Amino acid sequence: MLDRRRFLAVCSHLGLTSTLFPGVLWGMAEPQGKVTKEMIGNAADIADVVISDDLRDAMLENLDQNKKNYEEIYKLHIANSVAPAYIFDPVLPGMKFDSVKRPLRMSGAPAAKAQEADREIAAGKYRSPLHGLPWGAKDLLAVKGYRTTWGAGGFEQQNIDEDATVVKRLDQAGAVLVAKLTLGALAQGDKWFGGMTRNPWNPHQGSSGSSAGSSSATAAGCIAFAIGSETLGSISSPSTRCGATGLRPTFGLVPRTGAMALSWTMDKLGPICRAVEDTALVLSAIYGPDGRDRTVHDVAFNWDANLDWRKLRVGYFKEEFEFKPPAEPPAETGPVTPEEQKKREERAHTRERAQAMRKYDQQFSEAAIAKLQGMGVKLIPLELPKIPYGAMRSLLLAEAAAAFDDLTRSGRDKLLTEQSPNDWPNSFRVARLTPAVEYIQANRARMQAMEMWKKLFENIDVIVAPTFSQQLVATNLTGHPAVIVPNGFRGTDAPRPPRKENGIDDGDGGPGTPVSLTFLGPLYGEAKLLSFAKAYQDATGFHLKHPDLDAEMAEL
């Protein structure tokens, strides 16, 4: 049997020792099993990127998972006629949208407050319902004269000499920017170069992210509203954890000019508030083309708080609301090192905790369905389009790696505080080894998903869904809008996440913490979507409950 040493010796006699070719040939000749460090080294050389031996260890598990994801897309047998979504535009052929802008129609309470503010602002014109309101900007939005740190080590003193479009528009609306708000480093999680943003309902717990400060500060009542961003859950997750109301608009509704780019085809900016109607008022001030972000369409957002939501056609993902214990993963067999055995046990404990929390939280899903039916809503059972959404995450990772290519190549990624296998530094390195063909195939699969969701919304105005279900990845890929609202609070009997030695809870949930519900709409269907979400919020009142900061902080 030819081993690697003898194989390279043959290559030497052929005069190939000074090239990368022998190692590549050997890698191709090897049985196609798990990725090895040698394979990574050869691929890194070809990609012209330096990856040290210890960093290759961290990449192995992720690369093996990537291979499984590629196989999921292979199974689709995509027809030759399906084009990839190279320049992403969620608008498909045949879609038409209203571009005529009409005056806002607010409900009674906000209108009265606006009139009062109008009288109080005696020396100056009344600009909008946001006039005089304090707000905060996620610190990936550029503000001239202030640092824009992206929450990341190595960028602490960064200054960008421009105002983001949303910052300009809110200034024109009379809103008062009072703070730049923390975000997880480079828009991941809730840990930034200065520490961790905390959940006002449980300061022992992180706020989730990456719109960490945007959600935490809003829920705590420090500001009237904030602007956050979402690429894959960064409004949805912290809004849930902090009990805020978040709006993730349609991709291509709000210009991202002046915002840090993570994924050019998935990044979206949106408001985080305490109430649904507040998100509508903020959206009305920030949406529409700015002449610089070419993804933005000239589509009208006409908010009408008096719209009859009872006439809307509402569907729900029936199976997603049903609790089903997850299938047991394949048994991990074979001899292992003590370190690997510890990892296996940790994975098993994590699965057990997650299942216990899902089982506990099932009561909130059932209560939401019952409440909607009690409101007279005729829920139409729907099936979430079946396609391997998770396998398409390679699109985000590849774009993010490109956005921060210089960070990786220069070695400055070592300055980021988080360095686990799932954090950005390692993800960027892994993404560099994504084959171009697989990237294009994932784009083509994305186009199929867009077609499926277009068909799903043909006769539906709103879809009700659990926040943390497959829809989260799916709709971030297809560009559909979502509203995340508080949907109750866990009781004292809720499973507690384990508390680490540093006093931080390791995980989600716990007594007294909020849960959420998500409403989805068709592309650029925010007006109807928000009207329905407001009706549910008014009927439940969960958004009116606020954290007792004195009591919570006393526990620290």
Look up residue 491 and give its amino acid. Answer: G
Q: What are phi and psi of 23, to 5 degrees?
A: -65, -40
Of 253, 251, 225, which Cα lies nearest the Cα of 239? 225
Residue 147 DSSP class: B
Q: What local confidence, expressed as pLDDT, does residue 521 receive?
A: 99
Buried b (16+ CB within 10 A) or exposed e, 487-508: bbbbeeebbebeeeeeeebebb
The Cβ of residue 65 has, within 10 Å, a number of other Cβ atoms equal to 15
Q: What are phi and psi of 372, to 5 degrees?
A: -60, -40
Q: Residue 466 and residue 316: Cα distance in Å, rounded? A: 9
Q: What local confidence, expressed as pLDDT, does residue 121 receive?
A: 65
Q: What are phi and psi of 357, to 5 degrees?
A: -70, -40
Handedness of CA 423, 426, 432, 437 (dihedral sign): negative
Q: What local confidence, expressed as pLDDT, does residue 304 receive?
A: 95
pLDDT (tens digit, 9 = 90+) per residue, 368-413? 999 999 999 999 999 999 999 999 999 999 999 989 988 998 999 9
Mean pLDDT of 469-475: 97
How does the average pLDDT of the chain come out, rounded?
A: 88
Give the sheet arrangement for strand 514-520, strand by strand: 176-181, 134-138, 225-230, 268-273, 245-248, 482-489, 514-520, 462-465, 314-317, 380-382
Q: Residue 268 and residue 249: Cα distance in Å, rounded? A: 7
pLDDT (tens digit, 9 = 90+) per residue, 404-439? 988 998 999 999 999 999 999 999 999 988 988 899
CA distances, 388 to each of 174, 393, 431 (Å): 45, 10, 18
pLDDT (tens digit, 9 = 90+) per residue, 70-117? 888 878 887 645 655 666 677 776 777 776 666 666 565 545 544 555
Q: Residue 133 and residue 178: Cα distance in Å, rounded? A: 10
Range scoring the smallest mean pLDDT among 36-40, 317-321, 325-329: 325-329
User: Does residue 164 contact residue 142 with C-beta atoms inside 8 Å?
Assistant: yes
Q: Terminal CA-to-CA distance of the chain, rounded, Å?
A: 64
Count CA atoms closer than 13 A to 304's CA, side-chain side: 10
Of 383, 283, 367, which Cα lies nearest the Cα of 539? 367
> Which of the given ranges, 15-19, 37-41, 310-314, has the highest pLDDT on average?
310-314
Q: Residue 203 and residue 195: Cα distance in Å, rounded? A: 13
Range scoring the smallest mean pLDDT among 13-17, 154-158, 223-227: 13-17
Q: What local confidence, expressed as pLDDT, does residue 510 receive?
A: 94
Its CATH architecture, for the domain 115-319+379-389+411-555, is Alpha-Beta Complex (3.90)
Q: What is the pTM assigned to this prediction? A: 0.84
Q: Residue 503 and residue 493: Cα distance in Å, rounded? A: 21
Mean pLDDT of 443-452: 96
Better-scored residue on pLDDT, 117 or 483: 483
Mean pLDDT of 461-473: 97
Evaluate if residue 135 carries a pLDDT over 60: yes
